[in-house]
Amino acid sequence: MILEERIRRVDETLSNTISLSKTPCPGIKPWSAKFPLRFINDPVYEYACHEGNHGLAGILAGWRRYESMGMNGNGTPIEED
């Protein structure tokens, strides 16, 4: 997939981000998305990619446990194809 991202400054406190998909594959429609970005003066803290984020390990361990028991994450049996 080819993804083009454009960021345009609207004013001192706002930018618009426009993402355009330019996938050259038959059967896949190009798509676009637009969302605003507001500027803040606070420090940036990315909580999802943090060495202290131990929650993901627990989520994955729980899912693997369900899979080892032949179940989906909601407790229903996994359907064979």
Tens digit of pLDDT for each residue in 10-51?
Answer: 998 999 999 888 877 777 788 889 999 898 888 877 666 656
Residue type, 77: P
Q: What is the mean pLDDT of residues 43-70?
A: 76
- Check whether residue 34 and residue 49 sit in a common domain: no
Q: How many helices (H) and strands (E) in the chain?
A: 1, 3
> What is the extent of the structural domain holding 13?
1-41
Rg (CA), the chain: 20
Nearest by Cα to 3 from 29, 28, 32 = 32
What domain count does the chain have? Answer: 2
Judged on CB neighbours under 10 Å (0-12, 13-18, 19+), 66 is middle
- Check whether residue 78 and residue 56 sit in a common domain: yes
Which pLDDT score is estimated for 46? 67
Note whether 4 and 19 are within 8 A (CB): yes
- Check whether residue 29 and residue 54 sit in a common domain: no
- Check whether residue 33 and residue 58 sit in a common domain: no
- Check whether residue 33 and residue 56 sit in a common domain: no
pTM score of the predicted model: 0.42
- Check whether residue 51 and residue 77 sit in a common domain: yes
- Check whether residue 7 and residue 31 sit in a common domain: yes
